[in-house]
Amino acid sequence: MLALRRVSAGTLVAAGLVAVVCAIPVAYLFVVILDEPSVAWEVIWRPNTLALLLRSLALAVAVGATATLVAVPLAWLTSRSDLPWRRGWTVLSVLPLVIPSYIGAYLFVSALGPRGELQGLLGVESLPSVYGFGGAWIVLTLFTFPLVLLPVRAALRRLDPNLEEAAAGMGRSQATIARTVIIPQLVPAIGAGALLVSLYALADFGAVSILRFDSFTRVIYQSYRASFDRTGAAALAGVLVVVMLVLLVAESRLRRRRSYHRVGPGSIRAARPVPLGRWRWPAVAYCATVAFFSFLLPVGMLVYWSAQSVAGATDWQQVLTAAANSFLLAALTALVAAVAALPVAWLGARAPGRLSRVVDTLTTSGYALPGIVVALAVVFVGIRLVPFLYQTLPMTVIAMVIVCLPLAITATRAAVLQLPPRLEEAARGSGRSPAQVLATIGIPLTRAGILAGAALVFVAAIKELPVVVLLSPIGFSTLPLVIWQESTRAFFESGAIPALVLLLVTAPGVWLLVGREK
């Protein structure tokens, strides 16, 4: 209770309202399933649902494992070896994060699919199908492995080299040192990265839809679109959420069973780069191969298709309208998220406790759910409570905020924690109201964190696909929506310029991420 006195009643009420809105997706699942439990159970226990679950889990495991196998050697080479041009390979290995999975799938189909570039180049009647499990596995791996690379690389840079040097002094080979000393210390980072990739694969909608792989998200969307079967879609979404929660709990328990921290005195010094010797140029070839297929080739294809589109009949009005709409939607989402994050961040920073933990859990729940589930929840609640907002821009913004809000909260809370509480206490002691304290001290001194959070939300919102597919107002086209529509119709040239524009918008955010990682 003493902690709660550090925040105003207005902050508590505002944080509570934000938490209630963010709880809509979870509440939606419970309400719809309990409304027709027999129908929901019938959907859950269908043999097709079990097959769907196994397919989705197989994809998640395959993508997580393959991304780990690609990322861990890259992380070691770019952080602990004398690899030539190490900084450049680091940048190139992170830049695939710029490419959304649905753009990656779109490029994959345009190159290898029917009427694709490779078929025309070879002059053959047909090629093996790129659709289904194999295509989804390749595409998701190529554009998600940096999610493993970043935490593993950061963990490698924090490792104490004394253990490795002691093992080397005992005559152990580099392979033995890696197996017995380095990898065991990297288990938390590898596990966290692999889990993140697996969750991404489970929640992905764009790539699996373009590549026609029946995962949970695609079947949920088809179930809703085909018959507006909200109970069936909610039941499937509930199964997906349970699977994701089980994965999170399993990873958390595995991490708690071991101790990985350093107990000796002193600070950790930087490790000396390991000489690669005769493996120097094979390592360069490995890095170049990964960079080529995950970034250079996709971007080159986008530039090529864009040039083809410019030479042809490009609908510039559509591109400009979609870009303007995307910017408007992302800007509104960033603005609303920045405002909504303020009370939640202040409550968490100034009054940590049970209440703030509940609020934090509710406000971050939307980020842990697939975007398509959030969109369905907002549709369900909107039609019943505010039907006049259905398929309007405000409803789309609300769903986008639920999905992206944790990005703003995290950045804002970090800034609030660096703000000395005595400044606020002194201002209140001088007779200023909570609103005046916030306006004159809180916001000005945490402005950098607020703006950083808004920028993160903007980048995430401008790429969001499931929400705009289900909730965009009629006639309101965005860059992701245009790309998705053109790719499903195999009009690759028409979607190239919107995709390139989208990459150019999101690239600065990833570049800042690379620039800060030192």
DSSP letters along 287-310, please? HHHHHIIIIIHHHHHHHHHHHHHH
Q: How far is it, in rounded angstroms, from Cα 6 to Cα 434?
A: 10
Assigned fold of 1-26+313-477: MetI-like fold (1.10.3720)
- Residue 274 pairs with which residues in a beta bridge? 81
Contact yes or no for 395/471 (Cβ under 8 A) = yes
Which CATH architecture best describes the domain 36-259+278-311?
Answer: Orthogonal Bundle (1.10)
Domains 1-26+313-477 and 36-259+278-311 share a fold: yes
Which residues are CB-neighbours of 30 under 8 A, at least 6 positions away? none
Paired tokens of 238: 């509930």
Q: What is the CA radius of gyration of the chain?
A: 24
Cα torsion through 506, 512, 513, 515, rounded to 10? 140
Residue 39 C-alpha from the chain's centroid? 32
pLDDT at position 267: 45
Residue ranges of the domains in the chain?
1-26+313-477, 36-259+278-311
Q: How far is it, in rounded angstroms, from Cα 170 to Cα 497?
A: 58
Mapped to the 3 state alphabet, what secondary structure does 111-135 carry?
Answer: HHCCCCHHHHHHCCCCCCCCCCHHH
Residue 9 C-alpha from the chain's centroid? 34
Paired tokens of 68: 């780990």
Which residues are CB-neighbours of 478 under 8 A, at least 6 positions away? 322, 325, 326, 329, 468, 472
DSSP character for 273? P
Paired tokens of 349: 């920073």
Q: How far is it, in rounded angstroms, from Cα 461 to Cα 404?
A: 7
Closest CA to 294 of 24, 96, 513: 96
Paired tokens of 170: 């005992």
> Residue 116 half-sphere exposure, CB side, CA atoms within 13 Å?
19
Which residues are CB-neighbours of 102 under 8 A, at least 6 positions away? 205, 206, 207, 209, 210, 465, 480, 483, 484, 487
Is 390 in a helix, a strand, or coil?
Answer: coil
Annotate 361-375 with b (16+ C-beta within 10 A) or e (fewer): ebbbbbbbbbbbbbb
Alpha-helix runs per DSSP H in 386-489: 393-417, 421-429, 434-437, 443-445, 447-463, 466-471, 479-488
pLDDT at position 260: 46
Question: How confident is the prediction along the chain (518 residues), in pLDDT tens digits per residue?
Answer: 444 456 677 788 888 899 888 888 888 888 878 877 887 788 888 888 889 889 999 999 999 999 999 999 998 888 877 788 888 888 888 888 888 888 888 888 877 766 666 656 666 666 677 888 999 999 999 998 988 888 888 777 766 666 665 666 676 666 666 666 677 777 777 887 888 888 888 888 888 988 889 888 888 888 777 665 677 777 888 888 788 777 766 666 665 544 444 444 444 555 677 777 788 888 899 999 999 999 888 888 888 877 776 655 566 777 788 888 988 999 999 999 999 988 888 887 777 777 877 887 788 777 667 787 888 888 888 888 888 887 789 999 999 999 888 878 877 877 777 666 666 666 666 666 666 666 666 677 777 778 877 887 888 888 888 888 888 888 888 888 888 777 666 565 667 788 888 888 777 666 655 555 54
Hey, how many other C-beta atoms are within 10 angstroms of the C-beta on 393? 16
Q: How far is it, in rounded angstroms, from Cα 382 to Cα 85?
A: 53
> Which contacts of 163-172 are long-range, i.e. CB under 8 A and separated by 24 or more positions?
164/271
What is the chain's length?
518
Paired tokens of 413: 């809370």
Paired tokens of 213: 């792989």
DSSP character for 271? P
- Residue 81 pairs with which residues in a beta bridge? 274
Looking at this protein, which amino acid is placed at residue 96?
P
